[in-house]
Every structure is written in C-alpha cells, then in structure tokens.
Structure 1
Amino acid sequence: MQGAGVLAIGEFSRLTHLSVRTLRRYHDAGLLEPATVDDVTGYRYYSADQIPTAQVIHRLRELDVPLPDVQRILRSPDPRARAGLVADHLRRLEVELDRTRSAVASLRRLLRPEPARLAVELRAVPATTVAAVEDDVAHDQVLAWYAGAMAELDAVVDEPTGAPGGLYDNALFEDGRGHVLVYRPTARPPRSGRVHPVTLPAAELAVTTHVGEHHDIDVTYGELGSWVVGNALAVAGPVRETYLVGPRDTADPGAWRTEIGWPVFRVSPR
C-alpha cells in the first residue's frame, strides 16, 4: 500500500511533467529509480524529494544531453565536475547552433526570388611582402588555426600597414585539407616563432565584398564563381581574403566586411 509522502507514478508524472512511459524508461536505465516498488503489483512509487532530480533530468534531456552523460552528471559528487560536464555539452550545442545558423542564412540567400546583383571588380595587385604564418590545415580546423596564427601576428607586428588577410589553397575546398597562409602587411616583416616574411605574388583578382558574418560566405563564393565563369575567366591560384572589418574591429556583425579575391586569367574574349 502507498505510504504517507509517497507518490504514485501518475502523480509523480503530473508533478514533474515527465510521462509515465518516460519514468519507466528512466527506471529501466537506472537513471531515476522509484523510492519503492510494490513486490506484488509492480507499481512504482516516488518520494517528493525526488522531484528536483526529475526536473534536472528533464532539463538536461531538453538540451539533448545523452542518457549516459545524464547519469554521469547526476552521479558525480563534485559540483565542479558536474558543471564541467554540462559546460562541455553546452559548447557542443553552440557548435551545432552555429552550423544551423550558417545553413539557415545560406538557404535564405539562395531562395531569394531575385538575388541582389553582385558588385565585382577586376583588380591588379602588385607583389607584396608581408608577415605571415602558414601551414597545411584540415578544413574543419581552419577557424581554430586562424585564431592562433592571427594572435601570433598581432603580438609581433607592431606597425601594420593594411588590413589582415589570408590565402586559401584550392585543395582546402576540394580535398578537405590544404595550404593556408594568414598575414599582416607591414614595412618590416619580423621573424618570430611561426611568423616570417613572405612575398605574395602579383595577381589579377576578381574581387567582391561579403557583408556581415561568415555564416553564409559560401553563398558569396558561389556568386563570385558564377560571375567569373560568366565573364570567361578561370581561377588561377589560391583564393585571397582580406578582412577589412571584422570581430577584432567591432562587435557589430552588420559592419563586418570581407573581400574575396579570386586570382583569374581570361580564357576567351568577352
């Protein structure tokens, strides 16, 4: 018989907003065991002091924390360890959120009934000596690598003479790994750690400007590529990006400006 202060599974379900089916599943998984189980009927009974634990589980599952991770969080006696497990999952969610935002932004631009006309400039740039950091990088590691490389450049380049930029080898996009070079223009490029002088070759570039965050920069790449093909040009080297305004300059994403420059050569008369 149900004792004082003990709740039948249906009552506990209503109090915690966890379905009876979910409570049974949590019991079978050893995640939230009832206070007592009737030996004859098999009915499950819960105590009132299990309500906070059930609510914690409910919140964690709303955040898509896997059941094994929920168990580790609940069973960890160290509050800092529990907080660390939750923080790790939240970081994973933030990465997934960034991916979702990127996909949504790109899809919205792609589905516009009349895309805005792309402004493209053909620009001849001379050979330039810069302070650079370069390496072969996997595509999914580019952002982390870029942050570290640019931090090194900022630390040793005292008097930059222009906006920072990067060169991205075609293999990075085609094969998922390629050569990446980031740089800061300066009159006297230093040698320090990974930073060293590099002379960027002269090139003719088809240049356009991507406005805002990089979530949908792939769409701008595609639009520029269509323009290049439509004007009988061919890509002739690594893509160049110049970070005219970015998060290092302002916290307003609407003000960010990234120039994309494709080295090109003409393959036939226009």
Structure 2
Amino acid sequence: MDTTGLLTIGVFARRSWLSPRALRLYEQQGVLAPALVDERTGYRWYRPAQLEHARLVARLRRLDMPLARIAEIVATGAEDPQAAVALLDKYWTDEEYRVAARRELVGHLRIRLLGEEGLLEMYDIEVRDVPEQVVLTEQRHVYVQDLPAWIDEAIGRLLKLARGHGDGMAGPCFIIYHGEVNEDSDGPVEICLPVRPDPARAIEAATRVEPAHREAYTRITKAQVAFPQILSAYDAVRQWTEREGVLPSASPREVYFADFGAAGPDDLVCDVAQPIE
C-alpha cells in the first residue's frame, strides 16, 4: 500500500483543525472520506488537497450546522458554488428566525413569571373599524402542533379559489380562533380570505359575510408569531379590553397583512385582534 505524499490522520487532524474522532464521524456521515484506508488495521490517510475541504467542514460546524446539511452544501459546492451559497444563506435565515423566536419566548416567559406585570408596556394597543367583508372560508379542529402545516395548506387552497373569482383577494387573510388551540385543545380554527366575488360567476367554495366591527389590536413581528410567545400579544389585548371596560363581540383572530415567507424575523407581519362592542 503506497502512502507516499499522504498525511496520517493525526497530522491531517492537526492541520485541518479537526480531531481524529471528528474525522471518523465525518467519514461515517459521508462528509469527508479519507483517501486511503488500511483494510487490515483500519488506519486512515488523507491527501493534502483535502485540507481545504476539511477546514470548510470545520467552519460550517462552528455554525452548529447539522452534518447532513454540511454534506449537502459541500457536495453542492463542488458542482455549483452559487447554489451552495444559497443553501448556506437559507440555513442562516432559518437560524436567525429560531434565535429571534427564542428571544421572544424569553420575553413571554418573563411575563409569565412576573404575573403579566408590564404586559401593556410591551405592546401598543390600537383600535380600528373593519368593514363588512365577503370571505372564502375553511374551518377545522386542529391542535397547535398541526396548526402551521394546516394553515399553509388551507391558505394555498383559498388563494387558488380566490384567483378564479372576481378580482381575487380583496384584503389580508385572517385566522379566527373560535376556541382554545394548544396541546390539549383543538379550537376550532377558521381561515378567512376576503374576496370581491363576480356576481356573474358562482363561487364553488364555502363563503360567508364577516360583519363590520370594531377591534382592538396589536402589531407583532414574525418571531413573535411563534407559539407560545404569541399568547403574550393575545393577553395584552385582553388586558387592554378589561382595563378599558369594553366587551368582546366575537372570537379573537390573527390578521396577516405581509408576506410571511419573505419576511425577516423582526419584520411586522401580523395583527393580533379582538373584535369589541
């Protein structure tokens, strides 16, 4: 077995900033394979040219990136560097959202520990009049763990229907919670998409008229939408209505006025609203 010009695993580990244990793990995961393996002893050798590859892996690991994602980026980068950069950007965008959501969760937990003290100082509550709207609607009993997937699917169906009727979407989509939604309670939840129907064409979907009403609301970011931290916004609106002595007139809801998928974690995307008398 000719090992001329190859580096032992110990030397390669030192020069690549990776431990021998990490190198063996990366080999098992298909991230970084040695150039030569002694079938009798299991000893490994690497080419000097693999050092840059190994250092890239080491840097990606410093981002706490899963090995499967690293393998995908490294393999893609060998063929299409721009596509690899796009994968890296997507990973970091997701990480920034997770960090922002966790930051908001800390704020939610602080409120819980303090017994809602200072809740209204954290959220600006405003009041507005909402006109009568014709809406396409879909309703379902759903637990919180299944809620995001169902919302995405249902909105997709309603948007497709809206494009086939009249002027299409006539206002921001909103989600009404007719009952508690958490790990133990399943609502029901209703998704509503305002439309301007064409009188000459029948709408082959469930529709209803959402009455005109007044509502108190607070505007929140994409990170604040995550459960359970969004509950703090609901609690702030509820606390405001109690302080002002106004009564709810209908179920609470979330109004999504921005492109949620394209928004950054700190972008305003949603109003948590409570119709009031």
TM-score (norm 2): 0.62
Contact kept? 1:167, 1:238, Cα under 8 Å: no
Which residue pairs with 1:132 in the alignment?
136
Q: Does 1:100 align with 2:102?
A: no
Which residue pairs with 2:33 in the alignment?
32
- What is the 5 A alignment of 1:10-25? 10-25=10-25
Cα distance, 1:6–1:131 mapped onto 2, change above 3 Å: same
Q: In proportion to residue count, which structure has more strand?
A: 1
- 16-25 or 151-160: which moved more? 151-160
1:224, distance to aligned residue in structure 2 (A) = 0.8
Q: Does 1:261 align with 2:276?
A: no
Q: Does 1:207 align with 2:216?
A: yes
Contact kept? 1:36, 1:44, Cα under 8 Å: yes
1:12, distance to aligned residue in structure 2 (A) = 0.8
Contact kept? 1:170, 1:178, Cα under 8 Å: yes
Q: Does 1:238 align with 2:238?
A: no
For the residues of structure 2 that align with 1:8 and 1:164, how far apart are their CA atoms? 62
Identity of aligned residues (%): 21
- What is the 5 A alignment of 1:38-187? 44-55=44-55, 57-58=57-58, 61-62=61-62, 64=64, 66-67=66-67, 94-95=93-94, 97-108=96-107, 115-116=121-122, 118-121=124-127, 128-136=132-140, 138-145=146-153, 147-149=155-157, 151-152=159-160, 155-156=163-164, 158-159=166-167, 163-171=171-179, 173-174=181-182, 175-176=185-186, 178-186=188-196
1:7, distance to aligned residue in structure 2 (A) = 1.4
- Cα root mean square deviation, aligned: 4.9
1:104, distance to aligned residue in structure 2 (A) = 1.5
Contact kept? 1:131, 1:185, Cα under 8 Å: yes
Q: Name the count of aligned residue pairs.
A: 252
Cα distance, 1:181–1:63 mapped onto 2, change above 3 Å: same
List gaps (5 residues or longer) in structure 2: 112-116
Match of 2:147, as an amino acid?
H
For the residues of structure 2 that align with 1:257 and 1:72, how far apart are their CA atoms? 32
For the residues of structure 1 that align with 2:178 and 2:147, how far apart are their CA atoms? 11
For the residues of structure 2 that align with 1:252 and 1:25, how far apart are their CA atoms? 34
Match of 1:132, as an amino acid?
L
Cα distance, 1:103–1:234 mapped onto 2, change above 3 Å: farther
Match of 2:160, as an amino acid?
E
Cα distance, 1:255–1:102 mapped onto 2, change above 3 Å: closer
- 56-65 or 213-222: which moved more? 56-65
TM-score (norm 1): 0.63
- 137-146 or 12-21: which moved more? 137-146
1:153, distance to aligned residue in structure 2 (A) = 5.6
Contact kept? 1:135, 1:179, Cα under 8 Å: yes
For the residues of structure 2 that align with 1:62 and 1:252, how far apart are their CA atoms? 23
For the residues of structure 2 that align with 1:142 and 1:28, how far apart are their CA atoms? 37
Structure of larger gyration radius: 1
For the residues of structure 1 that align with 2:94 and 2:59, how far apart are their CA atoms? 19
Match of 2:20, as an amino acid?
V
For the residues of structure 2 that align with 1:235 and 1:93, how far apart are their CA atoms? 41
1:6, distance to aligned residue in structure 2 (A) = 1.8
Provide the secondary structure at the position in 2 that maps to 1:173: coil
1:48, distance to aligned residue in structure 2 (A) = 2.1
List gaps (5 residues or longer) in structure 1: 266-270
